[in-house]
Amino acid sequence: MNPTSSPTQAAIAMMARLVTIKSVAPHHFQLSLLAPAMASRALAGQFVHVLPRAADTSDPFLRRAFSIMAMRGEEIDILFRVEGRGTRQLSLLRAGDNVDVIGPLGRPFDVSPFHVKQPPLPLLVGGGVGVPPLLCLAGALRARQITPLALIGARTSNEVLGATELASMDVRTRLATDDGSVGHHGRVTDLLEHTLHELPPEASAVVYACGPYPMLRAVAQIAARHRTLCQVSLEENMPCGIGVCNGCVVAMKQEQNKDDYGRYRRICLEGPALWAHEIEWGER
Ligand SMILES: Cc1cc2nc3c(=O)[nH]c(=O)nc-3n(C[C@H](O)[C@H](O)[C@H](O)COP(=O)(O)OP(=O)(O)OC[C@H]3O[C@@H](n4cnc5c(N)ncnc54)[C@H](O)[C@@H]3O)c2cc1C
Ligand code: FES
């Protein structure tokens, strides 16, 4: 795929009816929007840009980005954690409210490694609210008869996201929690290290990861050490979400192609899914 071509050509701006909003874990909400044209064209790894407020108010002013967790018929699901003002306002919306949303935006996960007779094992590595886009990817892979292995990390057992959805798709899942309340006591990156170490020499894998930046940097390092392809979905603040403000750029190791942005890529447009070995990972 040409990295400068715009996947946002197919994006739609609309008022979507909020169908359901429910608490799925402490401070975490799942929200379904009635958005038929978006649901029919969205791909795993894309996101929606939402004004997190009731239609008759103007605060907060800026949109927030949320990964698409699932497309179900005419609906799009997102899952978010209440972090600050934007997500708090979003959690206060109710079924029947109209939500101003643009999407689907961004470049989806690149699944070209699976266009072969003997596809590699997809390893889905999610931390916290990085899990939703991986659920969408798991669904897309299962639709192609490919079974991933999911490695899910959370702070504690009741913040583990996606385990039910993954089980319903028959996706094997390994868990890690910071406090050891369920699964491995430690980081999800420990699970990745073990899993890649255990792979038989003739087997190959491709890692897809989403989560906090330090986790993604560690995932990229582990994948590189094991000579395993790795794609990450980055989550930066996105003022415009459509490639015009340059507020979301990330530095790449070298120029990927000759355009006005040189070594930089706009996460909203050329991402959020990017190949980890091309990113200039920094301190954050
Ligand atoms: C591609 C992508 C996918 C994401 N997917 C998810 C997801 O699935 N689930 C989830 O919980 N979170 C997701 N996020 C993070 C989410 O968009 C929020 O930024 C995050 O939850 C912060 O919460 P808040 O808006 O309540 O914080 P706030 O405190 O309201 O805002 C956080 C800070 O960022 C600033 N800020 C907020 N919005 C913008 C903006 N548009 N441009 C510049 N600065 C801004 C605010 O001024 C504040 O300083 C995603 C982000 C991206 C980029
Ligand atoms: S958010 Fe404006 S260019 Fe990416």
Same domain, 92 and 168: no
If you measure from the C-alpha of residue 89 to the centroid of ligand 2, how many angstroms do you get, rounded to a whole number? Answer: 22
Same domain, 24 and 95: yes
Ligand approaching nearest to the C-alpha of 135: 1
**Which of 81, 105, 129 represents a domain boundary (last residue)?**
105
pLDDT at 195 exceeding the cut of 60: yes
**Which of 105, 123, 139 represents a domain boundary (last residue)?**
105
pLDDT at 227 exceeding the cut of 90: yes
* pLDDT of res. 255: 64
* pLDDT of res. 5: 42
* pLDDT of res. 260: 61
Q: In the numeric block, which tokens belong to residue 137?
A: 């990817």
Same domain, 208 and 147: yes
| Cα–Cα nearest to 149, from 137, 132, 161, 133 | 137
Residue 279 carries which DSSP code?
A: B
Determine the residue of 27, 31, 51, 64 to mutate for testing ligand 1's pocket, defined as the one with the most ligand atoms within 8 A of the Cβ atom: 64
Same domain, 60 and 132: no
> How does pLDDT run across 68-124, given as a tens digit for each residue?
999 999 999 999 999 999 999 999 999 999 999 999 999 999 999 888 888 899 999
User: Could you tell me what percentage of the chain is helix, strand and coil, using 3-state DSSP and rounding each to the nearest 5?
Assistant: 25, 30, 40
Please report whether residue 186 resides in a domain. yes
pLDDT at 237 exceeding the cut of 90: no
> How does pLDDT run across 10-24, given as a tens digit for each residue?
899 999 999 999 999
Please report whether residue 15 resides in a domain. yes
Please report whether residue 219 resides in a domain. yes
Same domain, 136 and 25: no
Instruction: Please give the tally of structural domains in the chain.
Output: 2
Q: Are strands 172-177 and 205-210 parallel, antiparallel or unpaired?
A: unpaired
Q: What percent of the chain has pLDDT over 70?
A: 94
Q: Does ligand 1 lie within 6 Å of residue 256's CB atom?
A: no
Same domain, 89 and 128: no
pLDDT at 257 exceeding the cut of 80: no
If you measure from the C-alpha of residue 146 to the centroid of ligand 1, how many angstroms do you get, rounded to a whole number? Answer: 32
Going by pLDDT thresholds of 50, 70 and 90, the confidence category of residue 6 is very low
| Cα–Cα nearest to 219, from 193, 195, 185 | 193
| CATH classification of the domain holding 23 | 2.40.30.10
Please report whether residue 255 resides in a domain. no
* pLDDT of res. 259: 60
Same domain, 80 and 126: no
pTM of the model: 0.94
If you measure from the C-alpha of residue 64 to the centroid of ligand 1, how many angstroms do you get, rounded to a whole number? Answer: 5
Same domain, 153 and 89: no
If you measure from the C-alpha of residue 265 to the centroid of ligand 2, how many angstroms do you get, rounded to a whole number? Answer: 10
Q: Does ligand 1 lie within 6 Å of residue 237's CB atom?
A: yes
> How does pLDDT run across 239-256, given as a tens digit for each residue?
999 999 999 999 999 766
Same domain, 97 and 116: no
Q: What percent of the chain has pLDDT over 90?
A: 84
Please report whether residue 283 resides in a domain. no
Please report whether residue 173 resides in a domain. yes
Q: Are strands 12-25 and 149-154 parallel, antiparallel or unpaired?
A: unpaired
| CATH classification of the domain holding 210 | 3.40.50.80
* pLDDT of res. 205: 97
Q: Does ligand 2 lie within 6 Å of residue 243's CB atom?
A: yes
pLDDT at 8 exceeding the cut of 60: no
Q: In the numeric block, which tokens belong to residue 162?
A: 């996606």
Please report whether residue 74 resides in a domain. yes
Counting atoms of ligand 2 from 1, which one is nearest the CA of 245? 2
Q: Does ligand 2 lie within 6 Å of residue 23's CB atom?
A: no
Q: Does ligand 1 lie within 6 Å of residue 67's CB atom?
A: yes
> How does pLDDT run across 143-177, given as a tens digit for each residue?
999 999 999 999 999 999 999 999 999 999 999 99
Ligand approaching nearest to the C-alpha of 49: 1
Start-to-end CA span in the chain (Å): 30
Please report whether residue 275 resides in a domain. no
Name the E strands within the chain.
Answer: 12-25, 28-34, 47-50, 64-67, 70-72, 75-81, 98-105, 121-127, 149-154, 172-177, 184-185, 205-210, 229-233, 249-251, 264-266, 273-275
- 32: domain range? 7-105
Same domain, 119 and 187: yes
**Which of 84, 105, 126 represents a domain boundary (last residue)?**
105
Same domain, 177 and 86: no
* pLDDT of res. 54: 78
Same domain, 128 and 227: yes
